[in-house]
Structure 1
Amino acid sequence: MLAVFEKAIGNPPEELSLPSTGLTNSKNRQEIAEIFQSLWPESTLFNHSNGNFMALSHEDESPLLPRSIVVMDDIFCIFIGTLENMCELKRHYGLSRQATEAMVLIEAYKVLRDRAPYPPDQVVKDLEGKFAFVLFDAKSHTLFTTRDRDGSVDFKWGMAGDGSLICSNDTDIIREACGKSWAPFPPGCIFMNGTGLMSFVHPLHKVRAIVREDDDGQICGVTFQVDMFTRLRSIPRTGSAANWADAAVIEAE
């Protein structure tokens, strides 16, 4: 899978560009799309405005971690993996027995966006299984991506030469797109383009970038980890996400 969004939408953490040789060999969005389609000619690709896109291939798909892409009400969701509590989630969201994991995620997002006063971490905590997903609301330009708490699905993110955010489960693609400016997406975390990176396991603790250096003192990589020694007084928030974050603080306290 591959999801590429310009900086104005993706708003990737600046720490992703820290490796000194990271952006030198990286590609722009059009080049990345061409590379993906050349490697996976049978892939499904959805183009958004300004060269943003989401793509999925079923080639070499593991039966234990299937991939799917669903579009409903201008909301696009790529899902990799399985949810173990699908029956419970379908009942909770009033969905039919034929609903897929991606459909459940879209419905959960719509409830959060439109009606429920719950923070995103509370909803993601209800997901049991091995998964990673990228969800994009084309109307509000909201980007929402998550990886399960155990990091069961191979899932990475990075920054391209033009500042675009790249998300993929394919190491070769993300290296081609980002040079060295990429990192594993941290397990148990949520990234939203309006609120940034947060842990749904420890929502009141900051997720920090940890820099790695080579023998010459040059930055060669970065990882993101929950800082258990730093407790947030409040969760950064903007727009409709403010209600979700405020509820998280109240519930945790």
Structure 2
Amino acid sequence: MLGVFSGSIVSAPDELVMAGSRTPSPKETSARLLTRFLEENPSAISVQIGDGVSLSYSHSRESFLLPRSFASKDEIFCLFEGSLDNLGSLINQYGLAKSTNEVLLVIEAYKALRDRAPYPPSHMVGHLEGKFAFILFDKSTSTLFVATDQQAKIPLYWGITADGNVAFGNDADLLKGGCGKSLATFPRGCFFSTAYGEIRCYENPKNKITAVPAKEEEIWGAKFLVEGK
């Protein structure tokens, strides 16, 4: 899966900008990155949301037990990969139909807590149990919300393209070509929300997250480490 967001939606993280400046490497524009994704995944589906957001996914090479899915409702769009062990109990908690799947559950849970402000995003994602990564965009508020499970069983990476857009995806090689050294693994048990403007650990939201420059031989330009982990 691949999500690309323009600077009007999310500001490029300073740590990834510095990583790319420290070790210059070839990059691609976000348009070329998306084109490569579609070329490498002929059955892929891509959705353009306004001028600043594109969400794409493919079932190619996905795990039967950890599928990828996409859904939209009430101007909330979400890409989800993985499975939730407590899907049934969450369906009951939020009063949803028994046929609700993981991606719809994430949308409904996000929407419920958004509309019951001041509940923070960490409250919602902290209740999810299983192996997952998701990219959610709320068009009505121009809010981006991204998260991974506490063990990072589903890989997720983020980086900055040649034209300064921020890309999230599960294919490290694809993003390496588009983002060069302005690339990092999205840290486990964390979420990024433009409502906060930074990345946070949802188990311990107050714990500081530090970006450490990676070694020259590594594919990444930086590593995000959570204090106390």
Q: Following superposition of structure 1 onto structure 2, how do residues 143-162 of structure 1 map, counting pairs within 5 Å?
A: 143-162=144-163
**Counterpart of 2:10?**
10
CA change 1:104–1:223 in 2 (3 A) is same
Aligned partner letter, 1:204: K
- Partner residue, 1:91: 92
Work out whether 1:47 is the aligned partner of 2:59: no
Contact 1:24 1:179 in 2 (8 A): yes
What residue in structure 2 maps to residue 197 of structure 1?
Answer: 199
| C-alpha contact (below 8 Å) 1:25/1:178 kept by paired residues | yes
1:172-204 Cα offsets, whole Å, 9 max, x none, are: 211111012111100000101131100001111
Partner of 1:239: none
Give the fraction of aligned pairs with identical amino acids, expressed as a percent. Answer: 38
Q: Is the 8 A contact 2:183 2:220 kept in 1?
A: no
Q: Equivalents in 2 of 1:167, 1:61: separation in Å?
A: 17
Hey, what's the Cα distance between the residues in 2 that align with 1:221 and 1:71?
A: 33
Paired position in structure 1 for 2:20:
19
SS in structure 1 at match of 2:105: helix
Moved more, 23-32 or 107-116: 23-32
- Judge conservation of contact 1:147–1:189 (CA < 8 Å) in 2: yes
> Partners in 2 of 1:48 and 1:121 — Cα distance?
25
Query: Letter of the aligned partner of 1:112 in structure 2?
Result: L
Q: Which residue of structure 2 aligns with residue 120 of structure 1?
A: 121
Long gaps (5+) in structure 1: 230-253
CA spacing shift, 1:59–1:134, aligned 2, 3 Å: same
Letter in 2 for 1:7: G
| 8 Å CA contact retained: 1:148, 1:187 | yes
Amino acid paired to 1:198: R
Q: For structure 2, list consecutive stretches of 5 or more residues without a partner in the other structure.
A: none
What CA distance in whole angstroms lies between the structure 2 residues aligned with 1:220 and 1:168?
Answer: 14
How big is the shift at 1:23? 5.8
What's the counterpart of residue 221 of structure 1?
221
Residue 41 (structure 1) shift: 1.7
CA RMSD in angstroms, aligned pairs only: 1.9
